[in-house]
Structure 1
Amino acid sequence: MGPTLINGLPAHILLVHVVVILVPLTALALVAVAVRPAWIKRLGWLLPVLALVTLVSVPLTTHAGEWLEKHTDSDPLVRRHAELGDTLLPWVLGLFVVTVAVWWLDRRTPASTAAAATGDQQGAAQGLLARVPVRVTVIVLALVVAVGAVVQVYRIGDSGAKAAWHDNFSAHPVSHH
């Protein structure tokens, strides 16, 4: 499915950094355009592409993590990290779906499209996403999936750090003489 080793290192420990950066970045971009629909024009197609790259990065990272888990000693902290890792994909899928929906809704709004073509930012903001019920729904959905995805990334990362570093360091400086 994806790389398991990169330059002789387990791919998971490198790919995880992609997820840790892209999930919060995508979440932030989604919330920003949900709150300020006119910003969708500035991001354009970059917004759904960012969400797609974020979505693809999660199974690649979990696949590499499953490979790594099979190549390490059995440890309850590693198992817990792996279990938590499996919970991220639904959140990131939700992030992707809501991001694409917001982008698509903006593109499907005739008033917004016409206003954008003429450079009328105020007119662009008068589109479908500016209608109160739609906007409130978009903001709520964006916040739910964004916060859920970021919280899961934190929980998974915390469990991974504990699995990797427990009993592997000293609380006091070690003399290297």
Structure 2
Amino acid sequence: MSLINGLPSHVLLVHVVVVLIPLTALALVAAALWPRAGRRLGPLLPLLALVALVSVPLTTHAGEWLERHVDDDALVRRHAELGDGLLPWALGLFVLAAVVWWTGRRAPAEPGQGGGTRWSALPVRIVVGVLSLAVAAGAVVDVYRIGDSGAKAAWHDAYSKTVKGAEDGS
């Protein structure tokens, strides 16, 4: 998939990644740290993470096509290199989302119901919470860095720093 309605598909697909990765990160952290949120999200959490995960290689592949159709530029190469590093973060979000969902659906709704929460579950929740925070932060920072480099690559020579038509007062 190289073009969508005459536009390079990368410039359209990138918006899916820019929205879904931070949204998934936020939902993961909420579900990992607040079990009630995890229960409310239910299977939506791993499904959201799966869509985000699948969108990354689609966007990267479209970006590789676009890279071959623009002038060779150091900023474009840097953007492409950074973009290649997002897939492990997206995979981490998906794995942790699946773990949070799976453990959340097996836990009783409230402590004390169905035998209560075992003490051994607390260290596991802490580890999963810390991992979720770390992977979510890493994914969001990576999306920011990739987006910033892409904006610089796309716009560094594409606009004027002075107002066009300023000499006639418009």
Look up the SS of the partner of 1:71 in the other structure.
coil
Residue of structure 2 in register with 1:142 after alignment: 132
Aligned to 1:74: 72
CA contact (8 A) 1:128 1:134 kept: no
Cα distance change, pair 122–8 in 1 and its aligned pair in 2 (3 A)? farther
- Corresponding position of 1:170: 160
User: 1:105-149: per-residue Cα shift (whole Å, max 9, x none)?
Assistant: 12233xx2xx4xxxx58849x546993211210111001110000
Partners of 1:79 and 1:104 in 2: how far apart?
39
Identify which of 123, 141, 150 aligns with 1:151: 141
Counterpart in 1 of 2:82? 84
Distance in 2, Cα, partners of 1:129 & 1:30: 23
Kindly provide the CA deviation profile for residues 59-78 of structure 1, in whole angstroms up to 9, marking residues without a partner as x: 00000000000111100100
Query: Are residues 1:105 and 2:103 paired?
Result: yes
Q: In structure 1, the residue corresponding to 2:165 is in which secondary structure?
A: coil
Q: Map of 1:30-69 to 2, 5 A cutoff?
A: 30-69=28-67
Between the aligned partners of 1:108 and 1:174, the Cα distance in structure 2 is: 62
Task: Report if aligned partners of 2:10, 2:59 keep a CA contact under 8 Å in 1.
Answer: yes
Task: Give RMSD over aligned pairs.
Answer: 2.1
8 Å Cα contact 1:37-1:130 kept in structure 2: no
Count the aligned residue pairs. 166
What is the aligned partner in structure 1 of residue 12 from structure 2? 14
- TM-score, scaled relative to structure 2: 0.90
Is the 1:106–1:127 contact (alpha carbons within 8 Å) kept by the matching residues of 2?
A: no
Q: Which runs of 5+ in 2 are unaligned?
A: none
Q: Distance in 2 between matches of 1:122 and 1:150?
A: 36
Unaligned runs of 5+ in 1: none
Partners of 2:11 and 2:111 in 1: CA distance: 43
Q: Matches of 2:143 and 2:118 in 1, distance apart?
A: 32
The runs of 4+ residues in structure 1 deviating greater than 2 Å are 120-124, 126-132
Q: Quote the Cα distance in structure 2 between the aligned partners of 1:129 and 1:164.
A: 53
Q: How far, CA to CA, are the matches of 1:97 and 1:91 in structure 2?
A: 10
C-alpha contact 1:10 1:68 (8 A) present in aligned 2: yes
Q: Which amino acid aligns with 2:164?
A: V
TM-score w.r.t. structure 1 length?
Answer: 0.87
